[in-house]
Amino acid sequence: MAKFNKIDTINLIRTTGIVPVFYNADASVTKKVVKACYDGGIRAFEFTNRGDGAHKVFEEVIAFVRSECPDMAFGAGTILDAPTAALYIQMGADFLVSPCMAEDVVSLANRRGVPYSPGCGTVTEIVRAMELGCELVKVFPAGTVGGPAFVKNILAPLPWAMVMATGAVEPAEDNLRAWAASGVTAVGMGSKLFPKDKIAAGDWAGISELCAKSLEWFKK
């Protein structure tokens, strides 16, 4: 069962502004990455369902999160169908994310009171997602569909929309300021927030520092 209700989860994502997107088949590595992000100020984290047995890693890590990162909303990404969504909801996922619109997932998530952010790349898709009850819509791949300018342009006729941009988001001041200026509610950030050399060296403090700097740049 999700720790946070739907409103609280969305508020955590809004107030944090940056949602790390990460997958590793090693639960111990994932725990250290999540804790490093938490220590850096991150309060919402997306674990992507991308590898064989990913749900087993998620189950182990979410127990760690509840104990060691109590103020963090821990969600599941790359959810493409309702059965997979149900599995992660049963394990306690606070939110679900997809690279596309999966309408069977919308129905299930709404029924269970779990926020679902489908991937959208056009105004029509974004409006359809909102019609179905998705409060926070993911723009993906954000860099390919037009970057910050795309978000700014769609929010002109849809100022009430809440958008999380994922793709082409980097832990760099100019990049994050551009996304923030576009009006996004939040951004999803992947591998560039977790440099392979830092993970290989176990430099968890370095990842925490990068998270803290990124949050500062985004919120400015």
E strands in the chain: 18-22, 44-48, 73-77, 96-97, 116-117, 119-120, 136-139, 162-166, 186-189
Can you tell me the mean pLDDT for 171-192? Answer: 97
Check whether 171 has a pLDDT greater than 90.
yes
CATH of domain 6-219: 3.20.20.70
Average pLDDT of the chain is 97
- What digits encode the pLDDT tens for the residues 79-133? 999 999 999 999 999 999 999 999 999 999 999 999 999 999 999 999 999 999 9
Measured distance CA(93)–CA(28) in Å, rounded: 19
pLDDT of 188 > 90? The answer is: yes
Average pLDDT over residues 170-199: 96
Domain boundary assignment for the chain: 6-219
pLDDT at 220 over 90: no
Distance (Å, whole) CA 91 – CA 196: 28
* Contact indicator for 175, 150 with CB cutoff of 8 Å: no
User: What is the C-alpha to C-alpha distance for residues 72 and 95, in angstroms, rounded to an integer?
Assistant: 11
Please state, in angstroms and rounded to a whole number, the distance separating the CA atoms of residues 69 and 43. 8
**Cβ(116)–Cβ(136) below 8 Å:** no
